Amino acid sequence: MPAEWEAHRGTWLSWPHKEASWPGGFEPIPGIFAQIVSHLVPHEEVHINVADAELEASARDVLRVAGVSAGRVFFHRHPTDDAWCRDHGPIFVQRRDGPGPEPVILDWGYNAWGGKYPPYDQDDVVPTRIAKELALPVIAPGIVLEGGSIDVNGAGTLLTTEQCLLNPNRNPQLTRAEIEAALGHFLGARHILWLGQGIEGDDTDGHIDDLTRFVDPVTVVTVVEEDPRDANYEPLRANLERLREMTDQDGASLRVVTLPMPPPLYREGQRLPASYANFYIGNGAVLMPGFEPGRDARAQAVLQDLFPTRPVAVIDCIDLVWGLGAIHCVTQQWPADLP
């Protein structure tokens, strides 16, 4: 599996339509998607899953109002249950166990984060439908795994969390060793790094894309909470200590850079999983979720130092994270060398 910062052909999205995912707060969500598209289309294609002509027309209207050029936007009739394309979308890999390299789409099992939000049958088959449309081979590994639960450096090392991948609501029949074997076989991961717990409010049971991300083959950026009274303080410190002892696939120590957490964000009494680690690395820009101007600026500066050739754009995600996800959760890269 290529790293996210490697060249993209495009980015996949699933256009939002499930109002229940943002109770009483759906209205601004399509506009936030339009902002995401606007930052990507100057540098890569954007491919959007929609159920029918009506949803496509609605999405086109939103993009037009936002001033987004439609020239590199492509719509695909793949119905979805929800908008979290990181978790239900296609994961593109290069198969190397045959006569020659071959692009393949992986269709992992998807059960809406442990059966929390039925129905999810449409989301579960999105990768296979896209593979059929693109005439690409598709492989179903036969285990449940969401794209947001893993992060790779493109050289053989994979990051994940015990809270998610070892959760009995995913693959209770599998041992840790069996899960590692599957990650190795299907993603080319020969070195697995396990962190512990995720952040408060994360209904995905500790997705790595709210915690720690590779930004180059040997560097990770990881969120830390500065307030000892906050519930995230101890789990994030524990993850930081693990990272400082970890190595890459060749035994070299990781370079660990810390990223601040946003101030605690609540809505209707619920702690929301706001995290600056939920950024997306596009061809020509890094898209970072914004939650509070002062803290946003600090996080943006950290990421800008790590991506000196790609402007870091901040997109206000206070409304988006009410759905319990942010920018990385709604995007899925299509690597350029896997046509």
- Tell me how far apart the alpha carbons of residues 211 and 176 are, in angstroms, rounded to a whole number: 21
The yes-or-no answer on residue 329 being catalytic is yes
Q: Which letter, b or e, does each residue of 218-246 get, where b requires 16 or more Cβ atoms within 10 Å of its Cβ? A: bebbbbebeeeeeebeebbeebbebbeeb
Using CA atoms, how far residue 292 sits from 149, 201, 261, 320, in Å, is: 26, 18, 10, 14
Counting runs of H as helices and runs of E as strands, what totals does the chain give? 10, 18
Query: 8, 25, 4, 121: which is closest to 323 by C-alpha?
Result: 25
- Tell me how far apart the alpha carbons of residues 211 and 198 are, in angstroms, rounded to a whole number: 7
H/E stretch holding 237 reads helix 233-244
Tokens coding 303 = 């990421």
Active-site pick, 85, 164, 317, 329: 329
Could you give the residue numbers annotated as active site?
329
